[in-house]
Amino acid sequence: MEKNQLCPNQSDKGTIVDNNNECGRLNGSQVSENMTREFETVDLPFFGCDFDTVYPTIQSILPKESITFDRFGESVAIMCEIICASICHKINWDYLRTRVYEKTLKNSDWLLPDNLKTISEDEVYELLCTYEKKERIRADERTKILRQIGSWSKHYLQIKDVFMDNDRLLDYEDVHSNLFKCDVFSSDPQEKKLQLLIQKVSFINGFEALSSYYHPAIDYHLIRSYLRRGLIICKTKKAWDYINNVEANRTERTVAAIRMHCSDMINAVSLYTHLDISTINLIEWHIGRSVCMQEKADCKLETKSSEWLKPKFEVCPFYYTCTARCYNQNYLNISEPNYNGTSY
């Protein structure tokens, strides 16, 4: 397929074209055809592209996960990762992991299926009550999600059975099918939470082979960064208005269209750099949250959050090829959209 066709080639991830002029996932979720046409991905390599050297350099200094759950043992660690992946939307990742860790340290029984099935809204609010952006706690929404996790996980004798048959890793189709039995993971058109979970569980001892199953997980950090860097291109005024107007109506289907382009870009960068998709995704996530930030892009690495890059870089690794810095500074003003979905 040519890149301007409505469904870029993602045959390995099950993208289909149905008879209703929609780009859809195999689970029936849909991606807006109209919004897909408003954007496109840049071809690699472009003039001045140095990704083949920059990405491996960033890989060599990637920060480790600041909060891990290893001390709790395999089953509890997996449940903690499931909880974090399921309710991570619109909340800081490190904060969420810290709060889940602290709650589990006090009493890991809260993760038992029967307890999650009946978890109260007050308990969920208490988990997140110190978050500075109170409007993002959304305790009622996250309570429903955690109850779904409880009901779903109750079907497994051990939570590792979602991924393993005894000590044998299940085929991707079986892992995917097990996760899709939970609405939390099946309701997202681009499977961000599902793929994030696969990535994080692959870091647990004995589950490393899951990393080969990983497909891109796209959050807003990555979308914002790719738009600023010119890897995702606004083809029309409608596209520009969509990303620039915080009051624009953003639904799961229209956001999924941009995320689909981002997924294609990650796959392209992976092929070009010979780094696996999980590594590319981690690099983009760290750049988006610590350098190409919403409040102000830290192009010259002047903030504490970007210090991890200082051993190898004096400025942002993409400083010299960035559209927002070199050609159109209006892209620096892109802010997080007014979006009420739960998938990123």
Residue 5 has a pLDDT of 29
pLDDT band at residue 338 under the 50/70/90 scheme: low
Q: Could you tell me the pTM of the whole model?
A: 0.81
Residue 22 lies in a domain: yes
Residue 159 lies in a domain: yes
| Sign of the dihedral defined by the CA atoms of residues 159, 209, 8, 59, in that order | positive
Distance (Å, rounded) from C-alpha 92 to C-alpha 112?
25
Considering its fold, how many domains does the chain have in total? 2
Q: What is the DSSP letter of 43?
A: P
Same domain, 17 and 93: no
Same domain, 166 and 267: no
pLDDT in tens, 151-164: 999 999 999 999 99
List alpha helices for 69-138, DSSP H: 74-86, 93-106, 113-117, 121-128
pLDDT in tens, 17-67: 222 333 333 333 478 899 999 999 999 999 999 999 999 999 999 999 999
Residue 214 lies in a domain: no
Same domain, 85 and 31: no
Same domain, 251 and 322: yes
On the question of pLDDT at 2 being above 80, the answer is no
Same domain, 187 and 94: yes
Same domain, 275 and 312: yes
Same domain, 305 and 193: no
CB 125 within 8 A of CB 152: no
Same domain, 24 and 52: yes
Same domain, 196 and 250: no
Residue 306 lies in a domain: yes
Residue 242 has a pLDDT of 87
pLDDT in tens, 147-200: 999 999 999 999 999 999 998 999 999 999 999 999 999 987 678 899 999 999
Determine the structural domain holding residue 118 and report its residue range: 70-202
Same domain, 198 and 260: no
